[in-house]
């Protein structure tokens, strides 16, 4: 059985709680679930209660990060237990913006993913190479090494997002073939780590996904959906992507 399609939205640091509420209400008025497509919104933590109260039934939500710690003297951190308490189902970990701007290593990413899983959240583990790595032809080995380190001690309730850094926020999108090359390599690594369960896991592509390119990228055999940045902010674009899948 192939995994169902996950359309995961990454709002990044956009929308106030009031704007999140209005977005969720607008979605509720216009959203028609697409067969086999699971929609989930990754929002700033402060907006999660607004999503919990206003998203239409069947649409999940999650956080863009989670602490690697259980609780205690970690000023500014948000714990997995806090996210679960507001109804979150997912936590993105290891987005390239956190790896770059907050110095998160593979070991930190794995610790966050373990903490998420320990509380029943599904981590969405992000990996992907920068442009110089791709230009040297080392993108597959780089991404798999990053993934192996980021999955240390992680069980099978996990989603992997391949996001080439050169395609994030640049308007440049990987071709569907580029996405499939890495998704297939990721699936092989998941098979080595998890055996047959790997065929059921979602491998997403992320990086400048929009309504007009999502179908070709997600039409590839090893790509089970997308993690979407800019095009996740307008309900019309989200409906366009949902319908295209």
List residues near ligand 3PY by CB under 6 A. Answer: 10, 95, 163, 168-169, 206-209, 227-229
Strand partners for 206: 227
User: Closer CB to ligand 3PY, residue 227 or residue 245?
Assistant: 227
Question: Least distance to ligand 3PY from the beta carbon of 59, Å?
Answer: 18
* 129 annotated active-site: no
Helix (H) or strand (E) holding 126: strand 122-127
Among the listed residues 95, 104, 129, 180, the single catalytic one is 95
27: helix, coil or strand? Answer: helix
3 state DSSP class of 220: coil
Smallest distance from ligand 3PY to CB 229, Å: 3
**What is the distance between the alpha carbons of residues 25 and 50, in angstroms, rounded to a whole number?**
10
Other CB atoms within 10 Å distance of the CB of residue 25? 16
Tell me the closest approach of the beta carbon of residue 56 to ligand 3PY, in angstroms: 22
Of 97, 104, 129, 163, catalytic: 163
Give residues with Cβ within 8 angstroms of 174, minimum separation 6.
164, 167, 205, 207, 217
Minimum distance, C-beta of residue 191 to ligand 3PY, in the bound complex (Å): 25
Cβ distance to ligand 3PY smaller for residue 14 or 25: 14
- Yes or no: say if 156 and 190 are a contact pair by the CB < 8 Å rule: no
State the burial class of residue 233 (Cβ atoms within 10 Å of its Cβ: 0-12, 13-18, 19+).
middle
Residues 6+ away with beta carbon under 8 Å from 108: 68
Catalytic, 163? Answer yes
Q: Quick one: 208 or 222, whose CB is closer to ligand 3PY? A: 208
Q: Output 50 or 209, the one with its CB closest to ligand 3PY.
A: 209
CB of 48 to ligand 3PY, least distance (A): 17
Contacts of 218 (CB under 8 A, 6+ apart): 5, 205, 224, 225, 226, 245
The smaller minimum CB distance to ligand 3PY, of residues 97 and 106, is found at 97
Residue nearest to ligand 3PY (CB): 229
Active-site positions read 95, 163
């Amino acid at each position: 059985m192939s995994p169902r399609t996950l359309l995961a939205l990454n709002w990044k640091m956009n929308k106030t709680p009031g704007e999140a509420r209005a977005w969720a209400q607008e979605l509720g008025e216009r959203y028609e679930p697409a067969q086999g497509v699971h929609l989930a919104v990754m929002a700033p933590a402060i907006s999660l209660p607004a999503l919990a109260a206003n998203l239409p039934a069947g649409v999940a939500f999650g956080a863009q990060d989670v602490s690697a710690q259980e609780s205690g003297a970690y000023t500014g951190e948000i714990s997995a237990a806090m996210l679960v308490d507001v109804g979150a189902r997912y936590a993105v970990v290891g987005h390239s913006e956190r790896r770059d701007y907050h110095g998160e290593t593979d070991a930190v990413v794995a610790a966050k993913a373990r903490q998420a899983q320990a509380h029943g959240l599904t981590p969405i583990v992000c990996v992907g190479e920068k442009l110089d790595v791709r230009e040297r032809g080392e993108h597959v080995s780089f991404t798999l090494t990053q993934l192996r380190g980021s999955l240390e001690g992680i069980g099978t309730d996990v989603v992997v997002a391949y996001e080439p850094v050169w395609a994030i926020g640049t308007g440049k999108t990987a071709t569907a073939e580029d996405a499939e090359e890495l998704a297939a390599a990721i699936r092989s690594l998941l098979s080595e780590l998890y055996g047959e369960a790997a065929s059921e896991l979602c491998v997403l592509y992320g990086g400048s996904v929009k309504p007009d390119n999502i179908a070709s990228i997600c039409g590839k055999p090893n790509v089970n959906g997308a993690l979407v940045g800019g095009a996740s902010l307008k309900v019309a674009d989200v409906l366009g992507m949902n319908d295209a899948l």
